[in-house]
């Protein structure tokens, strides 16, 4: 987790704090791979320009996905075909308390921030030195330190990834979350291999926009 790139995003997030998003601003965000903090590729007020930018980014990158969102009433929303805000986005600009970020980047700490499939960041740590398993807790600025067992954003059961590597079968049973874009799609595979979810043969890591171009009933 501690790559120079992570630190770059950290700096970007500081920059973003001084340059807040505006009502009705379109953001092209990276949806895969998921980073600890929101990665915004571009910001535009013009819907057509933003849409075009998003399409080009998706076309140009094989292993990175992007989605178009609109900033509305302090949150990210999907965008209707006429450019107006649609449904609230699963992916949001989560603000992580700096104390958790510091612990995450501390090489001597066994605690770390994990990003849920839905984009929500939580913190895995040993609450008690006697504990054998790390406990997930919330780490957002306005909601930190609460013990959680399910993701507050999407509801999926949270499992410590150390356990996932040791006992992939248990993980397989607990992994019931089907990405929004894949629900009802006949291409959806959804089995776990070595702890990694194979979403489908066309998009092994899934498609993060609401509408996958290869959706088949
Ligand atoms: Zn989630």
Distance from the CA of 98 to the center of ligand 1, in angstroms?
21
Q: Which of 14-18, 39-43, 50-54, 56-60 has the lowest mean pLDDT?
A: 14-18
The whole-angstrom separation of Cα 182 and Cα 208 is 9
DSSP string computed for 35-100: PSS--EEEEES-HHHHHHHHHHHHHH-SS-EEEEEEEETTEEEEE-TTSSEEEEPSS----B-HHH
Distance from the CA of 58 to the center of ligand 1, in angstroms?
23
pTM comes to: 0.65
Q: What angle do CA 53, 118, 26 make, to 5 degrees?
A: 30
Distance from the CA of 49 to the center of ligand 1, in angstroms?
30
What is residue 177's predicted lDDT score, i.e. its pLDDT? Answer: 65
Residues with CB under 5 A from ligand 1 (ion): 116, 118, 120, 151, 153-154
Model pLDDT for residues 137-176, shown as the tens digit of each residue: 999 998 889 999 999 999 999 976 544 444 444 444 444 5
Q: 109 with 100: CB under 8 angstroms?
A: no
Structure tokens at 70: 């609109």
135-140, strands of its sheet edge to edge:
112-115, 121-125, 135-140, 143-147
Residue 52 β-bridge partners? none
Model pLDDT for residues 67-107, shown as the tens digit of each residue: 999 999 999 999 999 999 999 999 999 999 999 999 999 98
- Alpha-carbon 79 to chain mean position: 18
């Amino acid at each position: 987790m501690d790559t120079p790139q992570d630190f770059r995003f950290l700096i970007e997030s500081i920059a973003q704090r001084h340059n807040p998003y505006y009502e009705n601003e379109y953001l092209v965000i990276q949806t895969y791979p998921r980073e600890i903090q929101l990665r915004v590729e571009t910001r535009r007020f013009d819907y057509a320009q933003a849409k075009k930018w998003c399409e080009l980014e998706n076309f140009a990158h094989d292993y990175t996905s992007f989605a178009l969102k609109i900033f509305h009433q302090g949150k990210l929303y999907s965008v209707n075909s006429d450019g107006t805000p649609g449904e609230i986005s699963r992916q949001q600009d989560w603000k992580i308390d700096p104390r958790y970020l510091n612990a995450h980047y501390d090489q001597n700490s066994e605690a770390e921030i994990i990003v849920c499939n839905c984009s929500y960041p939580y913190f895995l740590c040993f609450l008690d030195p006697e504990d054998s398993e790390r406990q997930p807790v919330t780490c957002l600025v306005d909601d930190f330190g609460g013990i959680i067992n399910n993701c507050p954003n999407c509801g999926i059961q949270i499992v410590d990834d150390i356990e996932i590597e040791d006992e992939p079968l248990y993980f397989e049973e607990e992994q019931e979350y089907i990405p929004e874009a894949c629900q009802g799609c006949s291409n959806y595979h959804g089995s776990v291999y070595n702890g990694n979810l194979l979403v489908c043969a066309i998009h092994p890591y899934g498609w993060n926009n609401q509408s996958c171009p290869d959706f088949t009933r």
